[in-house]
Amino acid sequence: GECSAFKERFMECLRHSGYESAACRQSAMAYLECRMDRRVPQLMANEPLEKLGFKDLINEKSEEKPEKS
């Protein structure tokens, strides 16, 4: 239940996009991150998001962060 809000956002995105999963990759990544962060046994193994197909979104995320001076 800890990740149900992330799941609901992902499912809502799918419904609004006509179930076009590519349009909901940001939501999917957030949901998977939540599941991996909770580390509930047998819920989901902790895998690098790059291996799950989110390398491009991770690069976008790091480019948005301002550099510390």
Q: pLDDT tens for residues 4-55?
A: 999 999 999 999 999 998 999 999 989 988 888 876 666 677 777 887 788 8
pLDDT at 68 over 60: no
CB 34 within 8 A of CB 4: no
User: How far is 21 from 44, CA to CA, in rounded Å?
Assistant: 20
Q: How many CB atoms lie within 10 A of CB 68?
A: 4
Q: Which residue has the higher pLDDT, 69 or 19?
A: 19
Q: Whole-model pTM?
A: 0.65
User: How far is 31 from 12, CA to CA, in rounded Å?
Assistant: 13
User: How far is 44 from 2, CA to CA, in rounded Å?
Assistant: 13
